[in-house]
Structure 1
């Protein structure tokens, strides 16, 4: 009952602070537009950039429609293959969000599980998990993702690379982000495990797994949600970086990173729109997610207000 009223109070406080925070409102609008455009990309986009029959190479390098040589069929121009750039950005945002959300979900499940167990069980298990986390923290996230991606490509048969590419990319990014969830879950579990409701569950003879999942986990979800929001922006940026480096999604299924990599090859020849619009989309999306993550962190931690 107490947790129910506590949740109601937090929800009301969240709504009040959101309605009085213009920056968070703008960020929410941008994030909503990006998610809406990505989800309904097949309905909004004029062409399918993944279908070679839907575009013509003769339409390549057309500038935005409002310029002198622009074509009204292509609002923000076309790329080097004649694809409608707006359609490519919609589908690219969809792919980037899919990889970002999937990798954060994987990292959250893995990191939270290990953090919960380490914080509740303690002892050698806690020491081993935290030493692994310390080692990974010494490596940049992009290096960890590149390492996992390279190992997976070496193990998997060559003919399965294309089919399993998104799965490998998701796991690679997820394995580079689980540490944040594990450390936050462990620290929060340390605090919760000494409280009366956990001790009562132990006296009643409940299984440790049930205590961790039913009793402790719901009370530590707040900080984990903040970490998830912030890491979503990191995951999207990691995917874009990997695709920019040529080890992400293939060019025939472009994400925002792939579109930016293609655009940089032509920026000095005058086709500025190929790199500018995907870059602006990526920047706005990352900034809006980061602002929302910071807003949630402020709401859930009164000391930061």
Structure 2
């Protein structure tokens, strides 16, 4: 598959729009795409169009910034090269397909399908694969604005009286490139783990299912009614982490609850009455950092799979290096 001139021009236009709205410098954008800064200037002034390889890099970059559809296709050659590198990494490190898929942050069926030649990575999947091959965190900085942008694009969202926004699981399924019935199954698994756990979180924070997911339904073409879930930002974060197993679900929910509450307390204007837990019951920043490190260290010790340990160790290294 090769990209037409019209597609290349449209991608350049999207890149120009991203540059105008983001705080990234031209040098940062060029480094992320993997081209020289003068090259981008040449694209903008219409001196020439990107090569096929540069077009793929541009698609991958724009998909990572949610500036084009996550299902945008890259060229067959780039896809084949990435799959070849994945095979090599799998053999060198002895990963199973589920282990490698979890580390990358994709569904194992996608990875298996690539290896069998049934499908090829999309632009967004290629971004995750390249981060994996380069030893970077797969989630990077994508999530911060993605939920808000997905809600803005979706005609299936709702807002409660308290201002909490929920996105339809049908929209979330499209976002994470998963069949809706499979996502519903995953959500019901998360809910069952929540309900089975009788322990409260640190600082008296209690996981409430409705803070993550609320049940709903929709009417499909033909009039048949199907189940869906309304997914909050917390729920999306839980899904986005792609951690499997009860320990992973509980751990992810733990730090989501903990840091959401800490952030809310820090950002609450002085003199405003706050719901429990009060800011006095929350730790200092140093204590919060230490608690998070302790939580990660404990989770690493309790993790049952090699892939889970490596993913958690990566998080710990990234967090500590940022202190």
Same fold (TM over 0.5): no
- Structure of higher CA gyration radius: 1
Structure number with the higher helix fraction is: 1
Structure whose residues are more often strand by fraction: 2
